[in-house]
Structure 1
Amino acid sequence: MSSLIGEPFQVSSYPISTKTRHDKVHNPTYASYSRDFPGHATVTVQAEGIHIIDLSELHTVASHTCGSNVAFSGPASSRCTPEGDGRVCTTYALISSAPEVAVKNRNRTVWIMKQKILGGTLDKSDKHEIVLPHEVTHIYSDDKSSKILLVSSTGDISVADNELNIQSTLICPHQQNFLDVFFFPGTSCTFLPPHENLPDTVIVFCSSSDSTLLLSIVSVTGKDITIIGKNQVSTSHGVSGRKIQHHVIALSCSPCGVLSYINESHTWAAYQLEVNSLTTSVTQIGETLALAQSSRLNGHSFGCGMCLLSVGSSLVLLATMTGTPSSEISILLWDMRYGVVIASHAVPIPSALAPSIKLGINMSLLLADAGQVLLTLCPANVSRTASSTSESPYRSVVYIVPLDPNLKSTIAGAIGKTPATSQWLAPNPKAETLADNDPRSILLIDMANHLQHNEPHKADEAFFRWVKEHTSASESSSSNALSISTPDGAASEALYGYGFVKELLALFFAKEYTEKPQYSPRVTRHLIESCVVSAGMVEGRLLTALKQHDDWDEMISLAKALIDKQQKPQTDPEVMDVDSNKTWTPTLSAYMLMCVSYPTSPAALRLAIRKHLPDAQDLISILELLDGWTIGGTEEHRGGAAPPYDKTISFLQVLLDASFVSLLQFPPSHELLRNIMSHIEPEIELHERMGYLRGALEPFARVQNRIVKERAEGTPRETPNEWRKRRKHQEQQIALGVGLYRLEELII
């Protein structure tokens, strides 16, 4: 779909052991990336060890074999420091259990393993053990302060030095279910209040309780740890008619404070975090998205079959399993502010993971170097299904996904992405299915029969007869579910319904009922005036369909609305409304550019102008645009922001035909009309001069057109007799003489 996401390539693959059992189930493989060791990823493999991989050359620079009876409670972290004539790689491994670790120290033990790298060769590894005061599942290396941050699944946080000597600890017991934790350098966090001394690190700790997502925001400066904000978000978003599941299965957070989550119902919502001196606010951005449940393989546990990664601002990368006809992993780049897919890429399920598809696949995304994302795939629930003595056929795989490093969230990047986004969203929940005995279904069948027999007037009569019957019924029985009270009231929606209106419009715009749909402006206008029509009900958008059927009434009414909005005085023109939540509307210039460029029916356009733009004051705004678009005439450099010149002149002619008398009676329009005339008169003179050449050049134009047509249609070459006739005709034309334009042919 786009070059923003490159072709993923495999970094490494590791076998998964099922010989050991643990009280707590951990991922078979973890991947981590530290700014203290740029260009290198640390891969932790259960029952095997830890590997440090050079991402540029895709080879292992250091390994620590830990044995088949060792289990890790989380991803290891590595940092590299210069020492003498080489470098020392220090790896911190979080140990869940090992033969040499006492039971009481499980999940509290960290192994510090150092290995010196001398010109590409490895020195002997040195290892020593540290027991922490609390459990630890995440470790973060702060490259600014050279501190090590240790976080448990209950929210306990410790600050330590390079040798894990604890300097301070914040005990935050949580009874909730831990989800994920995010670490950000303080200088990159834009959701913090303005402050001269920014923290070294900001930690966003996420857990859940029932149908609530709980957030704790922690500031770390030196060895000082402070909770600077707490808040909660409801995870009970659901879709009508679908069983609502509240548990969060995927989560992301950006340094800009954009937090998003997906729940078990595959509903996706995004929020903006803001921390100030008093409170922490959480405001939803964009609309809640209902993702299409494309695969039954997407599990209901965190990270299984689906994962998220924030790549800056409101841009979020989604990796998800898709189902039949062929299972694959789709990588989608979403802009949550606009709710669209910016780019997508499909990755076939690797053969190393194929046997484990039925068990589910755990996924994780990790931001590495600029332009690189690490995707880790490993089987889920292997230890629960395999016997303790079996040799596992399962493997985990680590990929690098190339990503454009200059990604930004812009409205220009989101425009035009709606059609590609629709396949990833669930059908609109309002689009209910009509029962066979529903009177609306009977009406649709009746109208479709009339349209197929080229009787649109009878279809109109059937529709308005049906409306009259149910409107009359509403007057005698207020309990009737299919009654209406006011054109824009709630009862109007009860009468029509989303699905009914969509199918009704399909009769006029879609070709599934008849090869040439019969358009009904009366019915369409009635539905619009009843406020039951939305733009997305018609494939290709409603306004485009109206233009294709020369229904300019609603088009010009929208132009009138944009003119009124443009003429409305602003409260403070000096204020930049960057973060406004107001609905975006197009400018009059952009809208009229589309209207003028599209094929026009003069009669329908004249009627629409007279109806919606009777005031000459409103026409001034349009005339000013047309005045600018007529400058330059037919010259090619007009392109870009101006419509085709012939379309501009055609639209201007219809506009003047419809309202020339009104413009003459309005003095402010006179100067504009004179300017437009001064731009058009040179084009008229040029057209007249070019007309003199038409008679002389017309034979050559006909010959050229015939040759082009013959080449396009594959016409056989002419016979000798045909060639002699054409030759004779050409000689006659030459004898006539055509002044400066003379053709001579030399035959060798």
Structure 2
Amino acid sequence: MSASSSTSISDPFLLASYDLPRNETLVTSTHPHVFVSYHKRRVTATVQGDGVHVLDLATLHPAASHTLGPASRFGCASVTRGTNQKSSQDSATTYTYLQSESQIRRWKGGILGKAVEEGPSLQVDYDVSSLYAPVELPSRVLAMSPQGGITLLDEATLATVASHPASSSSLLKTFLFPRREWAQNSSGDGVVVALVLGSDQEREVHLQIISISEDDEVSDLHSSTIPLDVDDCDIADISLTASGHLSLLTTSGFWKAYHLTTSSSSPAPLGTSLRLNNLSFISPHFTSKSDLRTTRLNSSVALLGLTASHVLIVSPSSSPSNEIIFMVWDMKYGVLLAQQSISMPSALAGEKRVRVTVECAEQQAVVVLSPASGESRHGKGKEGKSGKGRSVVLVVPYEVPEKSMIKNALGKGEAGKRWLKHFEDEERGDGGGGMTKREREVLEGKRGITAESVKKIDEEQGETEEGLSYAFVKAIVRRMEERYEGEVLRYLLAKRVVSAGMAEGKGLLEVLREKDDWKAIQLALDNVPDLSENDLVSLLLASSSSPDAISLPALLKHIATYLTSASALRKAIKDVFSTRPEELLKVLEVVEGWVSRWAQKEGRLRMDVADVGERDSKGKRDLPQLEKVLSFLTTLLDATFLSLLAHPPARPLLQRISGYLQPEITFAEATEQLRVPLEPFVKANRDKDKDKERKEEGDWRKRRKEKFERRGVAVGVYQVEELVL
């Protein structure tokens, strides 16, 4: 850890990347494409359908490789033990569990150019979920089973030396620390193994601490139990440090920190729990108690404990969905100290879900991003060409202080605002809080939600000025991916009670596109004020995919007139169209048509105030205001000009647009010279208008008197005077 009091995350850089295997069945939900482990400045990457590669962090080059064939399936990360006091100075030993052969294998050499020397292999009748070759036990290798059983193997022969029985629960995660660093046992050599166990039957997590001495003595040190609330849903990931500080993250976004103590069977809470938001692993749906699962972690997020209270979290963001977020949080004070983000690597840009794993490498983190399953964006099937997808290995340098101090947390409260679900959202949105009894009955009813029931609630509650509650509308929107009720959603969109922030994960427009509900998309464009620029631009590609889709000119008009951020719109256009010049050309043709029509009005691109008023009053047509057209054209060219220049069919369009704009540029430059000499007259006229307004306001008594006098003698238009003699 750094002696500095600052916390920072440097730009991640690429260490390696690997193609998905030809046999995509080698990659499953429990077997990622790439495993990594770390030892003495070297990263050992285990690649399904390939082999084991040792990468040097000092040179960023491979130090050794051992290919085991395209059919090889690995059950866990391989480990490499480098030079130490009890091994030769010119060799290193690698251990791997080849699940396809049910073997633990060992080989030596290769690190410094030596030939690979195959060692003995061990045929096992149990699955291996983790392998460890700790420096503190130089003559031993640890093999962990999925139920938490520990087998201590001889380093040279792989013979079993000692063991620890498995548990009846499933192993969620394993941690290994030197005994001297473990807070609760600071004496003696050896290691401490922490097993985090979960069970579907019991709504709690068990933590079992086991000591392994250099004399091969295996003993239980401590056990703890962490009860889980129903609201906690599934466990996403867990972090633990040698100081005994644990954090537990659930798929509902709840993140809680604890400190293990020997005096209690339950760990003590550390600080207040957080509830994260806007990250892709967070489940947008409610989970019933019978559906809760605590036997497997979520693969779309990874935690790494750095110090007693500092934790690194890595996850794709939910909106926009093309970012990977790296954050360091201080769990003691509940504040975000540092964050970094990168665009999704191009090799993973088409994946619906991305698997994330992280490994500590001293002052760096090694992060693996890989497809969540063997099915890639380019196709399906068990066999196929290589290159269907790739996994990338990144190195993320970071700097954190050794201890958590309040001075580092001061002023950081707003830094994590984007990533936290706030109290207002809690009251209005998720757990039913803020709903009326009638709304809750409709949501939980067996008949489901219908447009008639929603309209009836709206009419009943509208009489008391309550209307539909935010929580009720949000619950309906979040359910639409599983149970889509188009008529209900269109009614809510027309009532202007839906916001894009109510939809988590894919986003509102993306779900509507998948359902091919273009009527709802039209309503969303008209009535939802917070649609993201990326979602808006992505619609342009989908406009030709369905006969019911909104036409490209109509969609472009919506985007050009929608309230957007220029920088965000520019980035969205670049992301969507950078590799699609033909689609970009279609967009440019529409915009060129708008510019041409404005130029034909009087031979000049100028806005007639009377014409604008007439157009707006009639709700006219498919031609946006000139100001909007020019603003959108500027953003479009800023984002794609180089791509357009490299695409020959676009050049005539660019020349025509230049022909329309060049006279206006000349005219603007000429009139700009009149600004200085005419400025005094403009100022004098402005002052005159202000004096006139003040004079009218000062004469209000006289005007009111005249008004009453006229009213007394006036005869109205429909007033009939009758004279009776």
Asked if 1:231 is matched to 2:219, the reply is no
Q: Find the aligned partners of 1:305 and 1:288 in 2 and give their Cα distance.
A: 21
Asked if 1:93 is matched to 2:96, the reply is yes
Asked if 1:151 is matched to 2:140, the reply is no
Asked if 1:250 is matched to 2:242, the reply is no
Q: Is the 8 A contact 2:358 2:367 kept in 1?
A: yes
Which residue does 1:374 correspond to in 2?
366
Q: Is the 8 A contact 1:315 1:335 kept in 2?
A: yes
Asked if 1:136 is matched to 2:136, the reply is no
Query: How big is each residue's C-alpha offset from its partner over 1:713-736, in whole Å with a ceiling of 9 and x where there is no partner?
Result: xx99xxxxxxxxxxxxxxxxxxxx
Query: Which of 4, 11, 14 pairs up with 1:7?
Result: 11
Cα offset, 1:167, TM superposition = 5.0
Asked if 1:214 is matched to 2:206, the reply is yes
Query: Which of 427, 430, 436 pairs up with 1:430?
Result: 427
Which residue does 1:289 correspond to in 2?
274
Asked if 1:41 is matched to 2:38, the reply is no
Cα offset, 1:128, TM superposition = 3.2
Which residue does 1:62 correspond to in 2?
64
After superposition, the CA RMSD in angstroms is 3.0
Asked if 1:198 is matched to 2:188, the reply is yes
Q: Is the 8 A contact 1:160 1:167 kept in 2?
A: yes
The verdict on how the C-alpha distance between 1:298 and 1:72 changes in structure 2, with shifts beyond 3 A counting, is: farther
Q: Kindly report which structure 2 residues correspond to 1:300-699, keeping only aligned pairs within 5 A, or say none.
A: 302-355=297-350, 357-358=351-352, 360-369=353-362, 371-382=363-374, 386-392=380-386, 393-404=388-399, 406-428=401-423, 429-430=426-427
- Structure 1 unaligned residues grouped into runs of 5+: 239-244, 443-714, 717-748
Cα offset, 1:153, TM superposition = 1.2
The verdict on how the C-alpha distance between 1:366 and 1:441 changes in structure 2, with shifts beyond 3 A counting, is: same
Cα offset, 1:282, TM superposition = 0.9
Query: How big is each residue's C-alpha offset from its partner over 1:598-635, in whole Å with a ceiling of 9 and x where there is no partner?
Result: xxxxxxxxxxxxxxxxxxxxxxxxxxxxxxxxxxxxxx
Q: Is the 8 A contact 2:14 2:395 kept in 1?
A: yes
The verdict on how the C-alpha distance between 1:415 and 1:199 changes in structure 2, with shifts beyond 3 A counting, is: same
Query: Which of 238, 251, 254 pairs up with 1:267?
Result: 254
Q: Is the 8 A contact 1:303 1:364 kept in 2?
A: no
The verdict on how the C-alpha distance between 1:298 and 1:7 changes in structure 2, with shifts beyond 3 A counting, is: farther
The verdict on how the C-alpha distance between 1:296 and 1:204 changes in structure 2, with shifts beyond 3 A counting, is: closer
Which residue identity is paired with 1:129? S
Q: Find the aligned partners of 1:251 and 1:18 in 2 and give their Cα distance.
A: 33
Cα offset, 1:65, TM superposition = 0.4
Cα offset, 1:280, TM superposition = 3.9
Which residue identity is paired with 1:364? T
Q: Find the aligned partners of 2:465 and 2:260 in 1 and give their Cα distance.
A: 46
Where relative contact order (Cα < 8 A, 6+ residues apart) is larger, the structure is 2
Q: Is the 8 A contact 1:237 1:267 kept in 2?
A: no
The verdict on how the C-alpha distance between 1:391 and 1:16 changes in structure 2, with shifts beyond 3 A counting, is: same
Q: Find the aligned partners of 2:218 and 2:48 in 1 and give their Cα distance.
A: 32
Tell me the secondary structure at the aligned position of residue 319 of structure 1.
strand
The verdict on how the C-alpha distance between 1:114 and 1:333 changes in structure 2, with shifts beyond 3 A counting, is: same
Which residue does 2:156 correspond to in 1?
163
Q: Is the 8 A contact 2:49 2:73 kept in 1?
A: yes
Query: How big is each residue's C-alpha offset from its partner over 1:450-506, in whole Å with a ceiling of 9 and x where there is no partner?
Result: xxxxxxxxxxxxxxxxxxxxxxxxxxxxxxxxxxxxxxxxxxxxxxxxxxxxxxxxx
Identity of aligned residues (%): 26
Query: How many pairs were matched up?
Result: 416
Bigger-Rg structure (1/2):
1
Q: Is the 8 A contact 1:303 1:363 kept in 2?
A: no
Tell me the secondary structure at the aligned position of residue 81 of structure 1.
coil
Q: Find the aligned partners of 1:269 and 1:411 in 2 and give their Cα distance.
A: 19
Q: Find the aligned partners of 1:91 and 1:313 in 2 and give their Cα distance.
A: 31
Which residue does 1:600 correspond to in 2?
none
Q: Is the 8 A contact 1:21 1:388 kept in 2?
A: yes
Q: Kindly report which structure 2 residues correspond to 1:97-136, keeping only aligned pairs within 5 A, or say none.
A: 97=100, 101=101, 106=102, 109-118=103-112, 121-132=113-124, 134-136=126-128
Q: Is the 8 A contact 1:47 1:71 kept in 2?
A: yes
Which residue does 1:179 correspond to in 2?
172
The verdict on how the C-alpha distance between 1:60 and 1:422 changes in structure 2, with shifts beyond 3 A counting, is: same
Query: How big is each residue's C-alpha offset from its partner over 1:305-336, in whole Å with a ceiling of 9 and x where there is no partner?
Result: 11100001111001111123352111110111
Which residue does 2:543 correspond to in 1?
none
Cα offset, 1:124, TM superposition = 4.1
Which residue does 1:457 correspond to in 2?
none
Cα offset, 1:168, TM superposition = 3.4
Q: Find the aligned partners of 1:14 and 1:263 in 2 and give their Cα distance.
A: 30
Q: 11-20 or 381-390: which moved more?
A: 381-390
Query: How big is each residue's C-alpha offset from its partner over 1:35-66, in whole Å with a ceiling of 9 and x where there is no partner?
Result: xxx11110000010000000011000110000
Which residue does 2:448 correspond to in 1?
none
The verdict on how the C-alpha distance between 1:86 and 1:231 changes in structure 2, with shifts beyond 3 A counting, is: closer
Tell me the secondary structure at the aligned position of residue 187 of structure 1.
coil
Q: Find the aligned partners of 2:463 and 2:345 in 1 and give their Cα distance.
A: 49
Q: Find the aligned partners of 1:306 and 1:170 in 2 and give their Cα distance.
A: 32
The verdict on how the C-alpha distance between 1:95 and 1:383 changes in structure 2, with shifts beyond 3 A counting, is: farther
Q: Find the aligned partners of 2:118 and 2:147 in 1 and give their Cα distance.
A: 31
Q: Is the 8 A contact 1:379 1:395 kept in 2?
A: yes
The verdict on how the C-alpha distance between 1:349 and 1:224 changes in structure 2, with shifts beyond 3 A counting, is: same
Q: Is the 8 A contact 1:77 1:91 kept in 2?
A: yes
Which residue identity is paired with 1:273? L
Q: Find the aligned partners of 1:163 and 1:55 in 2 and give their Cα distance.
A: 27
Tell me the secondary structure at the aligned position of residue 214 of structure 1.
strand
Query: How big is each residue's C-alpha offset from its partner over 1:66-108, in whole Å with a ceiling of 9 and x where there is no partner?
Result: 00011100000001237999611210011101xxx3xxxx2xx
Q: Find the aligned partners of 2:206 and 2:371 in 1 and give their Cα distance.
A: 29
The verdict on how the C-alpha distance between 1:269 and 1:70 changes in structure 2, with shifts beyond 3 A counting, is: same
Q: Find the aligned partners of 2:238 and 2:326 in 1 and give their Cα distance.
A: 15
Q: Is the 8 A contact 1:205 1:217 kept in 2?
A: yes
Q: Is the 8 A contact 1:365 1:373 kept in 2?
A: yes
| TM-score (normalised: structure 2) | 0.53
| TM-score (normalised: structure 1) | 0.52
- Structure 2 unaligned residues grouped into runs of 5+: 1-5, 285-292, 437-460, 468-675, 678-725
The verdict on how the C-alpha distance between 1:417 and 1:438 changes in structure 2, with shifts beyond 3 A counting, is: farther
Query: How big is each residue's C-alpha offset from its partner over 1:92-131, in whole Å with a ceiling of 9 and x where there is no partner?
Result: 011101xxx3xxxx2xx2110112445xx34244343122
Tell me the secondary structure at the aligned position of residue 423 of structure 1.
helix
